[in-house]
Structure 1
Amino acid sequence: MLSRAQDGTLLAARLLLAAALLPTGIARALNVSGFALTLAGAGMPFPNGVATAAVVVQVFGPLAVVLGVLPRLTGLALAAFSAVTAVMLHAFWQYTGPALVAERTLMLADLGLAGGYLIYALMGPGGWSWDGWRAGAPAPRAKAAPRSGVKGGGKRAPARAAA
């Protein structure tokens, strides 16, 4: 029972981690050139390459997390992506007043997300995943009916047809 609860909790955690990046990744995938222009306007070198790499990481990374494919590689890549994004996009030290508080909060949220991906990389996806299925994790089974004390496992003789 404990392993089923743990597998269910790990599945829920994987879904929540993926939900943090996947919607933005899909939106950026639908307009990669616009995202590249935004990066170029912010002074990012090689904006087209960076935009393409970010879209690949933000779309395929969360999908791999949901499915539980290559957890160490995926978790480490997404943790690095989240940490770099936090530092590059939320440089709170350049702001003052309410903007400083908002940017610091966003940076800490991204760093917390990076921590979640590191935990995923270390813990693994659990039994309810592609990785768990490949490792031979037993599939959830229905409970067997309780056995009665009757000899023969509680089987009854077939009813006779009425003549």
Structure 2
Amino acid sequence: MVCSQTNPDGARDVPGRTHDGLLLLARLLLAAALLPTGIARALNVSGFALTLAGTGLPSPNLVATAAVVVQVFGPLALLVGVLPRLTGLGLGGFAVAMAVLLHPFWQFSGPAAVAERTLMLADLGLAGGFLLYAATGPGAWSWQGWRQGARPQPRPTAARAAAPKAASRGKRPAGRSPTRAAA
């Protein structure tokens, strides 16, 4: 899904470079939040499994392996812009699940509870970003945009912008020959 902007006269425009640039920047920042941790966990899956076992989670090795796969390949899919709805929903669900599993602030008191609550809210904020990505899509500067042929549209020059106005007033634009009717 691609958002569009509206002109003052109510006509819809193709999204501009700024829109696509912001979507690319958002994808880069969201991926940067997960990918380094995913790589670190991939290098020490057994340590992450021990952390999950400490929460009482059944099958911590299986869950740790699945989490590492999601945390490495999800951000890569996000960077490239493939399957945005599936990627956004999957990473959003992953962020919520990890927030609840790894940051149970209600089990702590004092400064530890504040720190765990802050980490949990940060993970929930990431989940919100992933859900926004699922709703808006990756933009034209992505694999999906390239596949759909969504190329950034050039801005109209003064001559191109003046031509439709002249035609609407009954005048012929300068530099064009009149068309002749076939006999």
Give the alignment's TM-score, normalised by structure 2. Answer: 0.74
Return the letter of the residue paired with 2:95: S
Which residue, 149, 159, 163 being the options, matches 1:136?
149
Matched, 1:67 2:80: yes
1:117-150 Cα offsets, whole Å, 9 max, x none, are 0000000000000010011111577xx9x9xxxx
Question: What is the match of residue 121 of structure 2?
Answer: 108
Which residue, 44, 50, 61 being the options, matches 2:57?
44
Matched, 1:76 2:52: no
Structure 1 runs of 4+ with >6 Å offset: none
Q: How does 1:23-34 map to 2 (within 5 A)?
A: 23-34=36-47
Question: What is the match of residue 8 of structure 1?
Answer: 21
SS in 2 for 1:96: coil
1:6-29 Cα offsets, whole Å, 9 max, x none, are 000000000000001000000111
Residues 41 and 94 (structure 1), Cα distance of their counterparts in 2 relative to 1, 3 Å cut: closer
| CA–CA separation in structure 2 for the residues paired with 1:6 and 1:108 | 27
Deviation at 1:2, TM superposition (A): 5.5
Aligned-CA RMSD value: 2.1
| CA–CA separation in structure 1 for the residues paired with 2:141 and 2:67 | 28
SS in 1 for 2:96: helix
Question: What is the match of residue 138 of structure 2?
Answer: 125
Counterpart contact for 2:16–2:153, Cα < 8 Å = no
Residues 67 and 29 (structure 1), Cα distance of their counterparts in 2 relative to 1, 3 Å cut: same
Question: What is the match of residue 102 of structure 2?
Answer: 89
Single out whichever of 40-49 and 113-122 deviates more from structure 2: 40-49
Question: What is the match of residue 71 of structure 2?
Answer: 58
Structure 1 residue ranges without an equivalent (≥5)? 152-163
Identity of paired residues, percent?
72
Deviation at 1:3, TM superposition (A): 1.2
Structure 2 residue ranges without an equivalent (≥5)? 1-13, 160-174, 176-183
Return the letter of the residue paired with 2:52: L
| CA–CA separation in structure 1 for the residues paired with 2:69 and 2:119 | 22
Residues 92 and 41 (structure 1), Cα distance of their counterparts in 2 relative to 1, 3 Å cut: closer
| CA–CA separation in structure 2 for the residues paired with 1:106 and 1:123 | 26
SS in 2 for 1:126: coil
